[in-house]
Structure 1
Amino acid sequence: MTPDALTVHLAATVHPGTATPCPCPTGLLADRPDATVVRHGDTVAKAHAPGTDPDALARRLAVAAALPDVLLAPLGGTPEAVDGRLVTYWPHGTPVDRDDPDAAPWEAAATLLARLHRTPLDTSLPPMRGPDKAAAATSRLEKALKATPCPDAAPVLRAWAALPGWARGEDPAPGAPALCHGDLHLGQLVRHPAPDGPWRLIDVDDLGAGVPAWDLARPAAWYACGLLPPEEWTRFLEAYRAAGGPAVPPEGDPWPVLDVPARALTVQTAALALSKALAAGRSPDEVEQAVVDACARMTAHP
């Protein structure tokens, strides 16, 4: 579904029967192979990835509707089929300001995660899709390498092969599962549109049962790669613990729990970075090279 088609559909949904243009703010918020997101006024429409399971998505939407203190609640609970894609509707919230890293809401993100992880798990939910997304990123890199060899890819693929099967989406996850977001990063937070609205998590496509440490793994990986300052990692970890998050012990060294998920997220990030660099015919930039170098260190010191 093209962004223009989704925009027209959303406008007709918000203002049915209106043929004249309206003054509502509109815009394309995202256009990726796995999602197209557009805004019309206070409403956002998301066209989910082709092939999305409607029953699984409906279950995930039900969780978001039932946890409005954690997740941004959808506008309606049933996905709508439009031009072969499932479309859902959401309030328009204010995202994290990418140009003001000092204001990054690490404490809010950690507190919301802790609340999510403490929520009783609905056994009808599908598995959290984090490991599957890591596997897809590695598969994308392997396909890109068939057309364009890249020596930087070798340590990334070695680091992937060294991970346990559950982290590659091949085996059941260990331990008792918890309700997980599955793809936590600061782009998954918005301020609720209410006046002075609180932060809420968005994007339920990967929500499900899994290892809660996975949701802490991306900031942990950034910290380990030198991309997240120690003080910001400490703020995040301490806020998660203060809110009773069960993914890590309440005190002491968290890395025995975080190590495997953080390695998996490092590989995923490096694989996506190299795939994008190869597609653009360029060398990895400084940040991309940092995660590739981290994969090399992981295989040198497993």
Structure 2
Amino acid sequence: MTATADADVLPALRAKVRSAAHPESTPCSHPDTVLAERADGTVVRHADTVAKAHAPDTDPAHLTLRLTAATSHPDILLAPLRPTPAPLHGRLVTFWPYGTPVDPDTPEAAPWEEAAMLLARLHRQPPPRGLPPMRGPAKAAQAIARLRATAPHHPATDRILRAWHTLPAWARAEAPMPDSTTLCHGDLHLGQLVRHPAPLGPWRLIDVDDLGVGVPAWDLARPAAWFACGLLHPDAWTRFLTAYQRADGPAVPANGDPWPVLDVPARALTVQSAALAIAKSTAAGLPLDDAQRSVVDACDRMGGIPPELAGPFPK
């Protein structure tokens, strides 16, 4: 896509979301709010309607299948307003109802139990026929490629790559995942939950870009990694894991040690986070913050010890 076409996306998306929210002849005082503006997705809200322009390389057939999954499970995933994407300046656009996001300023109210129960229910649903693999491992591999391209000489890069190469091929997106039947979100974190109807409706999962079939433990891997790196309080981790197990989530055993299943995905998410931290800090010319240093330090510890499937990776 040309730079001109890319620059045209935001104003065109504003017009699209306004027309989707109400007829153009209707008097309107609602402002447009840009919720995200990145290379992999631009999101604009107008009144109670949200429009998302997906990444330029998004496969239309795969995105349509992901929309089908969301439409089929509206009690788990936020359902789109339209069943198929629309073209816009070389991008695909989807339309959604607005939902209230998690408040980052009240971490004590974070919906860990609700997120876990939604995941457990998602993992038990049959995926649409032809749904592609969930994109978790592919995104981790993209983060490593970005690290190699932007910060090959950073002092932490070799340590991160050593940790990366301890992972099995499937976790590096170099081989098929060992599970090809379980419906997965692919990129679970608290930013992927909203209340709908806003402001206090039930919680729903959002963002279907990485939805697909694969290893369900990947959806638990980010909070597991945060816990293992000391970034998530043990009580929050216990609440999340216990709620998932009580909801009959298939990713981990209902009883006993979950780490034989979680270890590899948690390591992969830690490496991904560290790679992005170095790439972003290098591009911005800024030092790492405390959380970024924690994931980089974890990679240093992981690099010398292959996954032993015995517990949270070495302290």
TM bin, normalised by shorter chain, reads: over 0.9
What secondary structure, in the 3-state scheme, does the structure 2 residue paired with 1:163 have? coil
Q: Give the drift of 1:174.
A: 1.4
User: Which aligned pairs between 1:222-301 and structure 2 lie closer than 5 A?
Assistant: 222-301=226-305
Residues 164, 303 of structure 2: 8 Å contact kept? no
My pick for the range that moved more, 7-16 or 149-158, is 7-16
- Give per-residue Cα distances to partners, 1:167-211, cap 9 Å, x unaligned: 011101114531000000000000012573100000001001000
Query: What's 2:187 paired with?
Result: 183
Aligned twin of 1:16: 23
Among candidates 1, 7, 22, match of residue 14 of structure 2: 7
Flag the 1:87–1:100 CA change in 2: closer, same or farther, 3 A: same
Deviations 1:58-99 (A, max 9, x none): 000000001011000000101000111100000000000001
TM norm structure 1: 0.96
**Do 1:177 and 1:212's aligned partners in 2 also have CA atoms closer than 8 Å?**
no
TM-score by length of 2: 0.92
1:32 aligns with 2:38: yes
Report the Cα distance in structure 1 between the residues aligned to 2:15 and 2:167, rounded to whole angstroms.
45
What is the Cα-based RMSD across aligned positions, in Å?
1.4
CA change 1:175–1:51 in 2 (3 A) is: closer
Q: Which residue of 2 aligns with 1:103?
A: 109
> Is 1:141 equivalent to 2:147 in the alignment?
yes
Q: Out of 242-251 and 113-122, give the one that drifted further.
A: 113-122
Distance 1:271 1:123 in 2: 34
> Structure 2 residue aligned with 1:44, among 41, 50, 55?
50
Please state whether the residue corresponding to 2:104 is helix, strand or coil: coil
Question: How far, CA to CA, are the matches of 1:289 and 1:123 in structure 2?
Answer: 42
- 2-structure distance, mates of 1:257, 1:76: 37
**Does structure 1 conserve the Cα–Cα contact (< 8 Å) formed by 2:44 and 2:50?**
yes
Cα deviation code 1:106-135 (max 9, x no counterpart): 000000000000112333111111000000
SS where residue 159 of structure 2 aligns? helix
Q: Deviations over 1:122-177 (max 9, x none)?
A: 3311111100000001100000025xx21011111111111110001110111453
Q: Comparing 158-167 with 1-10, which one deviates more in the overlay?
A: 1-10
In structure 2, how many angstroms separate the alpha carbons of the residues matched to 1:206 and 1:35? 12
Could you tell me how far 1:6 is from its partner in structure 2?
A: 1.2
> Could you tell me how far 1:212 is from its partner in structure 2?
0.3
For 1:64 and 1:282, how far apart are their aligned partners in 2? 39
Please state whether the residue corresponding to 1:157 is helix, strand or coil: helix
The answer as to whether partners of 1:12 and 1:18 remain within 8 angstroms in 2 is: no
Question: For residues 45 and 176 of structure 1, do their structure 2 counterparts lie closer, same or farther at Cα, with a shift above 3 Å needed?
Answer: closer
Give the length in aligned residue pairs.
299
Letter in 1 for 2:12: A
Identity, % of aligned positions: 64
Structure 1 runs of 4+ with >6 Å offset = none
Kindly state the Cα deviation for residue 7 of structure 1 after the two structures are TM-superposed.
Answer: 1.1
Matching of residues 65-84 of structure 1 within 5 Å: 65-84=71-90
Q: Residue 86 in 1 paired to residue 54 in 2? A: no
Equivalent residue, structure 1, for 2:201: 197
Counterpart contact for 1:138–1:271, Cα < 8 Å: yes
Counterpart in the other structure of 1:130: 136
1:135-174 equivalences under 5 Å are 135-146=141-152, 149-174=153-178
**Runs (5+) with no aligned partner, structure 2:** 1-5, 307-315
